[in-house]
Amino acid sequence: MDKITMNGMQFYGYHGAFPEENKLGARYRIDVELHLPLDRPGRTDQLEDTVNYAEVYERIKTIAEGEIFKLIEALAERVALMLLQTYTNINAVTVRVLKPHPPVAMFFDGVAVEIHRKRA
């Protein structure tokens, strides 16, 4: 299956299990893979035959910056569900959410979840 990959999208959201995270917020990074056939847009060279990634970005931004989740797993699930419901030409999605600076007394580059969902 062909795919469109959008990597390193950054958003400022208020997600987390601790009240301080919901108040102060933090930067999150989201990567998505959109699995869909790209042969038709490859032949027609028409935007309406594919997925407009600028629109996808804005829809993800609305979720990441406008909704609040306790878990990044829930954020990833919400993004995946929105993509599959909004774009019927997408057959499957992979969503990766990275929380670069979780409020824990450990030293590492961050924590990430990655989910893969496909159309039933």
Give the domain ranges of the chain. 3-118
Active-site hit among 23, 70, 99, 118: 99
Residues 68, 71, 74, CA angle at the centre, nearest 5°?
80
Can you read off the two tokens belonging to residue 32? 């998505």
According to the model, what pLDDT value does residue 92 have? 98
99 given a catalytic annotation:
yes
3-118: CATH, from 3.40.50.1980, 3.40.50.1370, 3.30.1130.10, 3.30.70.980 = 3.30.1130.10
pLDDT by residue for the chain (120 residues), tens only, comes to 899 999 999 999 999 998 988 999 999 999 999 999 999 999 999 999 999 999 999 999 999 999 999 999 999 999 999 999 999 999 999 999 998 877 666 667 778 999 999 998
Q: 3-13 and 92-99: which strand pairing?
A: unpaired
